[in-house]
Chain A
Amino acid sequence: MDDDAEIIAEFLVESHENLDQLDRDLVALEQDPGSRELLSSIFRTIHTIKGTSGFLAFGRLEALTHVGENLLSRLRDGEMELSAALTGTLLRMVDTVRALLAVIEESGQDASDQVDVDVVVAELKAALEGEAAPAPQVNAVPESVTAPEPVPTPVLEPAPVPDVVPEPTATPAAEATPTPVAASAPPVVPPAAPAVAAAPAAPAPAVAAAAPAAQVASTAPAVAAAPPAAAPTAPAPTVPARAFEAPQESEVEEHKRSVAESSVRVDVGLLDSLVQLVGELVLTRNQILQRTDTGEDLELGRAAQRLDLVVSELQEGVMATRMQPIGQVWAKMPRIVRDLASQLGREVELQMEGHETELDRSLLEALRDPLTHLVRNSLDHGIQPPAERIAQGRPPKGRLLLQASHESGQVVIEITDDGKGIDPARVAEVAIARGVITADAAARMDPRELVNLVFRPGFSTAEAVTNVSGRGVGMDVVRTNLERIGGTVDIVSKVGQGTTVRVRIPLTLAIIPALVVAHDGERYAIPQSNLVELVKVEGDALERDVEFLAGAPVMRLRGHLLPLVSLTEALATGTGEFRDWRDRAPDASLTVVVVQADDTRFGLCVDDVQDTQEIVVKPIGRLLKGLDLYAGATIMGDGRVALILDVPGLAQHRNLAATAAEETARQAASTDRTALLVMEIASGRRAAMPLVDVSRLEEFDIAQLEHSGAGEVVQYRDGILPLVRLAPAIGLVDTPGERSKVNVIVHELGAHRVGIVIDQVLDVVETELVRSDVGRREGVLGSAVVQDRVTDLVDLAAVVELAGAR
């Protein structure tokens, strides 16, 4: 009995895998209806399930797959043509098989009435019938309900033949035929032509060539005749076109098979416990290394070094076992897209790239739903119905592109459609109407920010609520789910051209980079993903930049007001009041960690910043689950536990709602005075740009500059910062002579950064801006009098474009 259960379990696992492959094959088949390769693969899958279900006495499953197999064998042998309706029928059969498998998994047998097999069987039989009598299929269904029973029986008779020796006949036949065609067809064509030429010139030696030459001569289009002659067994007349595709497919399949052979199935629980053990080992190693650093025992030091090496490699290896390719999620997409497209009356061409991009297994699981949702949205709200597209002079078939790639320790997934795009004005209108934001706030937002409002709770732009999307839940849930796994999501859209949704997620949740801060004698870790920058305020600046707004501390940071939160207060540790540092000695300083959660940015005041390190995230117990201040805990090099701060939780705890922060953050920008960064370029010329667009000022050593393509770049934080020299970009001549350092303005646009190289920063001024069109040219919006001197106003968007940042 136990043996049986084991066999059934194996059968289920295998069948589920096969069915996933089947889904993909069927959809691919629709694109390429004549492919025997695909048909054979589908046939084999169903045949295997049928065989095993017969063996395990699952009668209903066997009956269903049996009919399906008959239909497939007809298709494979070219006796029937595949139509969209037929694909639908086959997909429904796959669904029913899946449902039956679920029932088997639950109850150990397939006798349950939960799944209606008969309807699908009837449909399949009708399809078989429909071929025999080419009447419209819809009509055939009712007729065949009673009639088909005797008819299929003779049809079924031949089926057992492939049953007996299925592998030898079906498999090699399918795989072998296309390959020789591809191999022999091209050689045949070139010799044929010389043969024609040679025949009249030297008839004697052309004995062998004579016969084909004569044939070729009689049938005028020599090239067209050659392939059929070489491959008389080829089923369809479209062989030459397909000949080049088919081997590719079989190659891919062979490749897959060899991968399957070189891998073993391992219980996920075992892997998880291995990961945990390795985590422990890493910590123990850290402790040992710390001890041996100072020790004089050379032998121990050497052993510790070896341990270090081995453990590092072990960790890498074990972490790799958790990594899985995103192809697993991609694999489900063709079916989803197909079903949605037919449901919504869209025509969609799905393209997927980066199947091999790997990420942590648990993340992959968490990614499935949000991605499916985003794809749905693209189809429903993005890609227009064919008629509308044609009216706009675009191809009726929309394009949906899914891309996955690795980028600086993160996985980036982009979902791009060429649909109608998102209209920021429309988004603003809806957002105001639904009370998501105030009209005032909307007026101050740039288009990109407006588009990203769709992620706010309670927002949906669908004019008609459809079955697929548009029920007002959705994008905010997508964002919440992605943020839960440490990811971000962001939309770029051009009206009338399409939309790109960009999702970024960490490679793994188990080990993250974090900033360690010290506070009240304890250490806390702040995930790097929440970190914006570190600011130390001291001396006069403390007096000038930090103020109290009705008791709430705020800091002026580059023209914005940044709410400050004291970690002491947030954690209720110590007795120190926040006011304390104002009364401290004149050399007092304030260390502010600027963090970001959702749309909220705030400054966390800590005692001291230690360093950045990779930490192993450990769960904290059930007793502390209710505390949203912590995301977990980790073990430091000295073996002590440190808590990981949960930045969104902190923000919530301190009542820093997103909207409130936005209001305060934008106050500075909303006045009619504009804060400008004034700089010097091109031998003393002046230029200015709004201070809000400046993220940071950096100075790089000239030796740090590197080249990528035609442009200059520099390594910055953990990425590459493209540089653009401002002077040439706005039509001026760069200051001659090289200097040892370059001044760079870092401009951030969403996830992209651009470094703008200038000579030096002159000043930051707050002024009423009267812009004149004098001097307007590419990269320059115009000019204004700033500090009594004419200053070029930089068109940042144009300059950024030059850097090719997008």
Chain B
Amino acid sequence: MTTTLESQFCTFTVAGLDFGVEVDHVQEVLRHQEMTPVPRSTAAIHGLINLRGQIVTALDLRSRLGLPPREDDVPAMNVIVRNHGEVISLLVDDIGDVIDTGDRSLEPVPGTVPPTIQHAVKGVIALSGSLLLILDPDRAVDVPPATPTPGGTP
């Protein structure tokens, strides 16, 4: 898996952590969108947005990764990723640059990192100045349907 990894990543921050997703997975990045909540859905599902006529489910990465909730006055950004032929919005705190990690290698996530995060990422790339967690969009989106399990460990 490490060998097939692209070296270009779209980066963003969630609760002070730096994350990256391979650019190929990302369709677009949007500012804050009007959101329709979906009652009785998993806590991580923040709502539905209208993306040019398509209904897109928005997943709150903080909730999904077991991180503390976002403060109310901070609008979330949408990272729109494609997953199993479907389009999903990942809600993040802030968008960073697209960076090229070159030939830096992907290292496994230390076991001391909370399991909710471990499960959703492919590994860590150590950059000069920061540690970039590489998100696995498939697993990050893989929320058990309907039954609200706050931790989100499937």
The answer to whether the Cβ of B7 comes within 8 Å of any Cβ in the partner chain is no
Question: Per a CB cutoff under 8 Å, which of B49, B53, B88, B143 touches A279?
Answer: B53
Number of A-B contacts (CB under 8 A): 80
Once the chains are docked, how many angstroms separate the CA of A635 from the CA of B86? 18
Please determine whether B53 and A620 come into contact, CB atoms closer than 8 angstroms: no
9-residue interface stretch from B40-48, B73-81, B98-106: B40-48
Q: Is B92 positioned at the interface, with any CB of A under 8 Å from its CB? A: no
CB distance from B49 to the nearest CB of A (A): 7
Q: Which residues of A contact B50 (CB under 8 A)?
A: 283, 635, 639-641
- Judge if A280 is at the interface, Cβ distance under 8 Å: yes
Q: Are A639 and B145 in contact (CB under 8 A)?
A: no
Say if the beta carbon of B36 comes within 8 Å of chain A. yes
* B:75-118 near A, CB below 8 Å: 84, 86, 88
What is the chain A residue whose CB lies nearest that of B53?
A280
- Cα distance A548–B112 when bound, in Å? 53
Given A624-B45, A633-B48, residue A572 in contact with residue B55 (CB < 8 A) = no
Q: Please indicate the chain B residues that have their CB under 8 angstroms from the CB of A572 in the complex.
A: 39-40
- B38 on interface, CB distance cutoff 8 Å: yes
Residues of A within 8 A of B146 (CB): 624, 626-627
Q: How far is the CA of A642 from the CA of B141 in the complex (A)?
A: 22
- Residue in chain B with minimal CB distance to A523: B36
- Cross-chain contact B84 with A622 (CB below 8 angstroms): yes
Asked whether, in the complex, the Cβ of B143 is within 8 Å of the Cβ of A623, the reply is: yes
Q: Cβ of A551 < 8 Å from any Cβ of B? A: no
Confirm or deny: B23 has a beta carbon within 8 angstroms of a beta carbon on chain A: no
Q: Name the one of A284, A621, A633, A643 contacting B86, with C-beta atoms under 8 angstroms.
A: A621
Q: Are A623 and B145 in contact (CB under 8 A)?
A: yes
Q: Could you give, for residues 628-652 of chain A, a 1 whenever the CB lies within 8 Å of some chain B CB and a 0 otherwise?
A: 0110010100011111000000000
Given contacts A621-B86, A622-B86, contact A627 B38 (CB under 8 A): yes
Residue from A284, A639, A642 having most chain B Cβ neighbours under 10 A:
A639
Contact of A624 with B37 in the complex, beta carbons under 8 Å: no
Residue of A nearest to B83 (CB): A622
CB distance from B37 to the nearest CB of A (A): 7
Q: Mark A244-281, 1 if CB is under 8 A from B, else 0.
A: 00000000000000000000000000000000100110
Interface residue? B10 (CB, 8 A): no
Contact: A624 with B39, CB < 8 Å?
no
B11-43 interface mask toward A, CB cutoff 8 Å, 1 = contact, 0 = none? 000000000000000000000001011111110
The docked-state distance in angstroms from the alpha carbon of A731 to that of B83 is 72
Give A569 to B143 CA distance when docked, in angstroms: 24
Residue pair A626, B145 in contact (C-beta under 8 Å) = yes
Cα–Cα, bound, A571→B84 (Å)? 28
* A627 and B40 form a contact (CB under 8 A): yes
| B37 nearest in chain A by CB position | A522
> Which partner residue on chain A sits nearest B148 by CB separation?
A572
**Measured CA separation A556–B135 after assembly (Å):** 56
Contact of A283 among B39, B45, B53 (CB under 8 A): B53
**Docked complex Cα distance between A643 and B54 (Å):** 13
Contacts of B34 in A (CB 8 A): 639-640
Contact B53 A642 (CB under 8 A): no
Instruction: Answer whether residue A426 sits at the interface, using C-beta atoms and an 8 A cutoff.
Output: no
* Chain A residues, CB < 8 A from B40: 571-572, 627, 629
Given the contacts A571-B39, A572-B40, A621-B88, A641 and B49 also touching, CB distance less than 8 Å: yes
Q: Does B57 contact A (CB under 8 A)?
A: yes
| B56 contacts A by Cβ under 8 Å | yes
With a cutoff of 8 Å between Cβ atoms, the chain B residues found around residue A276 in the complex are: 53
Chain A nearest CB from B38 CB (Å) reads 6
A625 contacts partner chain B, Cβ-Cβ < 8 Å:
yes
Q: Which of B40, B84, B141, B147 has the most CB of A within 10 A?
A: B40
Q: A623-B88, A627-B41 are in contact. Are A640 and B36 (CB under 8 A)?
A: yes
The reply to whether the CB of A619 lies closer than 8 angstroms to some CB of chain B is: yes
Q: A623–B138 Cα gap in the complex (Å)?
A: 12
Q: Which residues of B contact A630 (CB under 8 A)?
A: 38
Q: How far is the CB of A644 from chain B (nearest CB, A)?
A: 11
Measured between beta carbons, the chain A residues less than 8 angstroms from B86 are: 621-622
Chain B residue nearest to A638 (CB atoms) is: B34
CA distance A620 to B55 in the complex (A): 7
Residues of B close to A571: CB separation below 8 A: 39-40
Q: Give the distance to chain B from A152, nearest Cβ to Cβ, in Å.
A: 55
CB distance from A171 to the nearest CB of B (A): 49
How far is B52's CA from A283's CA once the two chains are assembled, in angstroms? Answer: 9
Q: How far is the CA of A573 from the CA of B41 in the complex (A)?
A: 11
| Distance between A636 CB and nearest chain B CB, rounded to angstroms | 9
Give me 5 other A-B pairs in contact (C-beta within 8 A), A624-B45, A627-B145, A633-B55 excluded: A280-B52, A572-B39, A622-B86, A641-B47, A642-B36
The 4 A-B pairs with the shortest beta carbon distances in the complex, nearest first, are: A280-B53, A626-B145, A626-B146, A571-B39
**Can you report 7 residue pairs joining A to B where beta carbons are below 8 Å apart?**
A280-B52, A618-B55, A620-B48, A622-B84, A624-B145, A633-B36, A633-B55
